[in-house]
Amino acid sequence: MNRTVLDPLTMKDWQLAEAAEGHMKPLRQLAQELGLREEEVIPMGRQLGKVDQRMVMDRIGAQATGKYIDVTAITPTPLGEGKTTTTIGLVEGLSKLGKRVSGAIRQPSGGPTFNIKGSAAGGGLAQCIPLSPFSIRMTGDIDSVTNAHNLAMVALTSRMQHERNYDDVRLAKTGIRRLNIDPKRVTVKWCMDFCAQSLRNILIGRGGKMDGFEMDSGFQISVGSEVMAILAVARNLKDLRQRLAKMVLACDQDGREITTADLKVDGAMAAWLVEAINPTLLQTIEGQPVFVHAGPFANIAIGQSSIIADELGTRLSEYHVTESGFAADIGFEKFWNLKCRFSGLKPSAVVVVATIRALKMHGGGPAVKPGAKLDEAYTRENLGLLEKGCENLEAHIEIVKKSGVRPVVCINGFHTDTAAEVALVKRVAESRGAYAALSQHWLKGGEGARDLAEAVVAASNEKNHFKFLYELDMPLRQRIEVIAREIYGADGVSYTDVALEKAKQFEADPATARMGTCMVKTHLSLSHNPDAKGRPKGWILPIRDIMVYRGAGFVVPVAGDIKLMPGTASEPAFNNIDIDVETGRVKGLF
């Protein structure tokens, strides 16, 4: 590929991707270089393919041999700090060192793609391609998750209607068992993969008795569905099928949980996901393999690339780089205490992505708003502001170190960063026991990520002492307290009456007492308050509700006012997305 034509300083991401796509490796070549056989790849159109995970795992066995690298970050600005870009850049950089490497990233949600943040393919010369199918539809996994989830809601609401309309004799003739579902204790909403705040709270079933069951309902975003969480943690199709049957949708009048199995919809839900269980195989701009599987939003979901993708990557590659959503307090904590516990995989190294821009914001810089011009404070040298903001970096270094792994701080370089600013961040990171490297993968691709790749190789060759933050026999409220104090830096935890009642109930139930804990919290602060930047002190974490994802295998405490359905901004990304009517190519993605 002629790299001189790819200039991130003058070309937009979609233009870079479009130019690079003319030099993509054929799917067959990409798969062969990864060590896959032709029959193990399922073509999905001209450019994409899925990997038959069962066929591959049966052939190569269950033992992971590759180094396992997780990429997380400091608390981001609303613009994001380039975690996916760093993941792709590191894959390219390790390849430059002669390593056989693969990556795993999450499929972008239509919500942020068409809203504020744009696609999640990376950026500059550290992108996953082809961009358009990656960003829109891909191989239909999110559509399958959405349909499986909503089919469960159809089963639930139609059962409620039939039970209301039919007496016991008629129900018996149809083979339906009365479940006595309590409409005030329906715990799941419908889902769609856009940011649609007007659908958060709705009334459904209006009309006559044949128009459904009238009750309060609403929507959440698809990637926050328990179905997506199950896809992320399932080991194979059998495991996925068993987990789907455990999903709780509501309670009956006596408080007994109503599952998808009770509604006899679990098998049909699994039918929607037969293809989705297989990761999609794409490539970086420089031609390294990348698995795309499961979804984002670690603030309201598990937010990890799938266990299946990582099992494949750690068996097929010398180095496998995976991605956790948002910062170390959210994404890495869930990677560490949920994903690694479920998979049995242990990280060889953990990368913490930081930008000078975000650290200045945490030091007290002006608000950073999507679509607005950055204040000059972020483009001019200001060592005082930067040093103050490094408190946030220090917190995330400490979080990773609590897992027993030495972190690698990646300074994701911007052209406005000065040598003195970079040196300051390196000094702070190294003084706290981390490796540190400036990486210019956005501007220079793999060549710009060499220093980062070398630091990751050095860290992964060290013997670490990986351990979980909590054991599963620890009571739920104690576990939440440990996460709040040790990870977020809170002084304690408070509960609403509803949350406290549920916590006691889950602690007393043997089926939930030993489940993992998947926190729901804002990604914009170490605390529950998105406006509290830096390293907040002197605060209490408020738990307003606790949900249970029996299928996924974790209890979900909800902190603060965070919403499960995000909203669309006044100047969304879809304003700039269009097509070339002659070629059908999509333009304007970023």
The set of catalytic residues is 83, 85, 106, 117, 298, 326, 414, 442
553 vs 233, 490, 512, CA distance in Å? 9, 26, 8
Are 310 and 68 within 8 A, CB to CB?
yes
Closest residue by Cα to residue 248 from 262, 258, 234: 258
Are 244 and 266 within 8 A, CB to CB?
yes
The two tokens of residue 129 are 């391609």
Closest residue by Cα to residue 53 from 272, 236, 314: 236
Are 21 and 27 within 8 A, CB to CB?
no
Integer Cα distance of 201 and 239 in angstroms: 33
Q: Is 62 left (phi over 0), alpha (psi -120 to 50) or beta?
A: alpha
Integer Cα distance of 39 and 60 in angstroms: 14
Are 8 and 443 within 8 A, CB to CB?
yes
Contacts of 394 (CB under 8 A, 6+ apart): 428, 432, 535
Angle at 573 between CA 285 and CA 219, to 5 degrees: 110
Q: Rg (Cα) of the chain, in Å, rounded?
A: 24
Integer Cα distance of 470 and 334 in angstroms: 12
β-strand 319-323 against 101-105: which pairing, if any?
parallel
Are 42 and 279 within 8 A, CB to CB?
no
The two tokens of residue 492 are 């304690």
Buried-exposed string 438-455: b where 16+ CB fall within 10 A, e elsewhere = bbbbbbbbbebbbbbbbb
Integer Cα distance of 272 and 64 in angstroms: 29
Integer Cα distance of 431 and 578 in angstroms: 48
Integer Cα distance of 72 and 323 in angstroms: 7
Are 349 and 403 within 8 A, CB to CB?
no
Closest residue by Cα to residue 70 from 405, 570, 506: 405
Integer Cα distance of 128 and 231 in angstroms: 21
Count of CA atoms in the C-beta half-sphere (13 A) of 407: 32
The two tokens of residue 582 are 């002659």
